Structure 1
Amino acid sequence: MKSFKLFLSFCTLIRSSTTSPDTEECYSEPMASTNLRLWVETEDFGIETQTINFFELELALIRKEGGPYWYLADDGFQGAFYYESDDLGEPRVGAYLYPDFSTAVLGLWEDHVLLQGQATKLVKACRSGESWSLEFGDLSGPNLTYSPPSHFSLGLNAVQSDPFELSTVEVRRSKIEGAENGLFTTRDIISGEVVAFYSGYIINCNMYPRGLDRRVLSAEESLIRDMYYIELDIEREHQLCIDLPFELGNDINRYNATLGHKVNHSFKLSTEFMLFSVHPVLGVIMSLIAIKDIPANQELTVDYGYETEDKSLVANWFLEIWNKYGSEENNDLEEENNELKEDNINDLEKDINDLEEDTNDLVEDTNDLEDTNDLAEDINDLEDTNDLAEDTNDLEDTNDLEEDTNDLEDTNDLEEDTNYLEDTNDLEEDTNDNNPDLYHDEL
């Protein structure tokens, strides 16, 4: 099989698509994996996911009716499984996409356990409506199958490189003083991203890793022997650890199945150890997770977390770094305290100046308020004056009305007197007319 095209109806899973079914949007690498990761990280699914317990983590099942099955491991931070069918308990064809959503293993799976497959790379992702189609490149490398490590087996060929690590990290000469080799990035890493894996023999932590070793070793020699010994961060009745013998861990020509053990110590770390539960070949192992964005060609570091209470059990090189770091930390702390004091003094002076300005503004506002009150009083006084003027005018109008009324009454009296006089004259005339003799006598 030279290439694969898998039609993945793993839609953005929006029931009514906003993209026309006839419109196809295609992305080549690196944009293909970038868009797939964006789809996963933004949880742009459109339907509720179903949670399925899978040993040490949960898988989120995403499926639209009639479509394929997607199982996101740890919300996609540990990659994803894809199947075209849901034949639980039966072998089925599918793919596991590593956390970069570019490196993949295609093959036959049963309950997320790899029966047979090979590594490949994503070369194109096309989205049409609510569906994606993925195109992978040529299959490469040896046939792969699930083969977990144990206390007597590494689980796989010790020099069989991991396909994900091949595109993410490599071992080079370390830039750290006193160190030999170190682990470097070969591409830009995003904070929270898996950068490398850490595996070896799986043993009981309470069991002495070299039970039949009769040599009497110094503390320094014991530390060298147990250099690549790390707890497997998993809850069990008996705590499990990963142990990689020094002769293997110190020589990448003898062991390079995983490279996480090559990371050097620093208190100014860029990664941290974290459990990884879905490695397609090794299963449950440890991994290195970036705690910040890391550019390509950068040496990775991690805090080994050695206990320093009993210094006889701690390597001299670690104590030297610890003391140096403590001294640097104290100097940095003193500088930070001085900077903090200066900042506090500057802030206090600024606050005082601001308070003075606010006080002056308040005084000005108070004066303005008093002026406003005076103006309001003047306005009220003016209104009272206007009211008084109106009342005066009203009073004058009342007096004029009274005068007019009196004049009218005088007029009426005059008219009455005139009428009375006229009546008197008329009476005299009538009297004279009726008594002419009287009139003559008078004459």
Structure 2
Amino acid sequence: MNKSAYLGESSIQMLHTWIRDICDPDFICKTILDQIILDQLVKEGMEIDTTGIPWMNQLEDIRKNYEKKDGFVRSEHEDGSIFDACFKDKKPHGVIRKMNGLGDLEFYGCIAYGKLLGVCWKSVPGGGFMISSNVVFSGPGTIYLYPDCRLGFSGTFKDCLLVSGLLIEVTGFESDERLQGSIIRPVTSTISNQEYKMDISSSELFSSFPLLAEPYESIFVEVGESRIPGAGQGLFAKVDIAFGTVIGFYNGHKVAAEHDFDTTSPYRISLDKDIDLDIPEHLTNLDRYQATLGHKVCHSFDPNSNTDLFLHPRFGLIRCIVTIKNIEAGSEVTINYSYDMTTAPDWYRIAWAKHQKNVRGLPDWRMAMLKSGINIFEK
């Protein structure tokens, strides 16, 4: 294909703007590509295997309900999902975008007569992106980008998980001029020859690469002695961090949910209502496990971060640490453990009582002594 490459910081910013556009529900893919150009390019595209892709069937339903034979259509549904699609001769023929009801990008690409032209994009839980030359986002040559859309992996993937690949950084983008800038692909460079592989925990093995540090996380945080009395080690910001930034990851064994946290591991965290993540006690030290650092984050009732779901290319579906305030370099990262007070461990209930005294001005004998001007012994 006739491609133009754009490199440098300005091009990276252009790439980020393009990504924001295609992920914006209010952005409508109105540009219908020149059909002659598409017809000329179709022989260069990749044949699409629609097996296991439910939205392909949804496209057919949309077409049947569409009054015009050819052209662009936007279909909005009660669940909040959106389809932007182009059709010709009753087939998808142009830019296709599918967004789910949560506003996540499930697919963005250009299809002509059953062939994918260039690459396609999708977002994954937590804010990462997959870029692939096939609609199932598997196989060699697939790219994963972290939420900053600068760091990522390139290699062989299966169902959005990394089979084997290398760490990359984005240096710009390239675009096929004949696709009028509607589809672009990141230009990347390899950072090192360190091979990364899928490392999903099982009941028998927590991690196959326990000392291979998470590269994205290493940009933002490091472990040090917590400033919270008695808390041990904590997590600290290495750089100034804006609110809404994913900064770390909480990996663990997937075990049945347990709500009596006073009798379970202090490193257990909820993944969802049925599953918890837990780290074996003997692997909580950095000399034995440092593939993720989220288990080092300490509790606060006035936290600067929170947790969210994250589909990690190495660890699968885990939790991430995401900031809810701006954090200055050197500051300690904290989250609210959000235990149920009826089953919370003793230290949590005590901390909650102290917190309530501070924020609500509940009775405190020290303050009463300082503020009282009454001498009960005077007559």
Normalization by structure 2: what TM-score? 0.65
2:346 is aligned with 1:319: no
Gaps of 5+ in 2: 30-83, 85-95, 112-116, 364-379
Q: Deviations over 1:254-292 (max 9, x none)?
A: 11111111111101111112111x211111111112112
Judge conservation of contact 2:166–2:190 (CA < 8 Å) in 1.
no
Quick check: 252-261 or 168-177, which moved more? 168-177
Q: Give the Cα separation in 1 of the matches to 2:300 and 2:124.
A: 30
Choose from 260, 264, 270 the match for 1:231. Answer: 270
Question: Which structure features the higher share of helix residues?
Answer: 1
- Structure 1 CA distance for aligned equivalents of residues 207 and 121 of structure 2: 27
Alignment-derived partner of residue 69 in structure 1: 120
Q: 1:322 to 1:41 in 2, by over 3 A?
A: same
Q: What's the RMSD between the two structures over aligned residues?
A: 3.4
Q: Which residue of 2 aligns with 1:154?
A: 206
Cα offset, 1:298, TM superposition: 2.3
1:108 aligned partner: 156
In 1, are the aligned partners of 2:161 and 2:312 still within 8 Å (CA)? no
Which of 342, 349, 352 is matched with 1:309 structurally? Answer: 342
Distance 1:150 1:207 in 2: 21
Write the mapping of 1:168-187 to structure 2, written as runs, cut at 5 A.
Answer: 168-187=220-239
8 Å Cα contact 2:97/2:108 also seen in 1: yes
What is the number of equivalent residue pairs in this alignment?
Answer: 285
Contact 1:158-1:255 at 8 Å conserved across structures: yes
Letter matched to residue 130 of structure 2: F
The structural deviation recorded for 1:99 is 0.8
Write the mapping of 1:267-416 to structure 2, written as runs, cut at 5 A: 267-276=301-310, 278-309=311-342, 314-316=345-347, 318-331=348-361
Secondary structure of 1:323's counterpart equals helix
Letter in 1 for 2:345: V
Give the partner amino acid of 1:231.
Answer: S
Task: Please say if residues 130 and 137 of structure 2, whose CA atoms lie closer than 8 Å, have aligned partners that are also in contact.
Answer: no
Contact 1:89 1:111 in 2 (8 A): yes
One-letter amino acid matched to 1:304: Y
Structure 2 Cα separation of the partners of residues 322 and 57 of structure 1: 36
Aligned equivalent of 2:280: 245
Which region of structure 1 is more displaced relative to structure 2, 87-96 or 320-329? 87-96
Compute the TM-score of the two structures, normalised by the length of structure 1: 0.56
Q: Which structure is larger by alpha-carbon Rg, 1 or 2?
A: 1
Deviation at residue 327 of structure 1 after TM alignment:
0.6
Name 2:55's counterpart in structure 1. Answer: none
2: CA distance, partners of 1:322 / 1:206: 21
Q: Structure 1 pair 57/324, CA: closer, same or farther in 2 (3 Å)?
A: same
Letter of the aligned partner of 1:82 in structure 2?
I
Change (3 A) 1:181 1:208: closer
* Contact 2:155-2:162 at 8 Å conserved across structures: yes
| Pick aligned residue for 1:192 from 244, 252, 267 | 244
State the 4+ residue runs in structure 1 displaced beyond 4 angstroms: 31-35, 56-59, 87-90, 125-129, 206-209
List per-residue Cα deviations over 1:350-383 (Å, max 9, x = no partner): xxxxxxxxxxxxxxxxxxxxxxxxxxxxxxxxxx
Assess if the C-alpha contact under 8 Å between 2:174 and 2:186 holds in 1.
yes
What is the aligned-residue identity percentage? 26
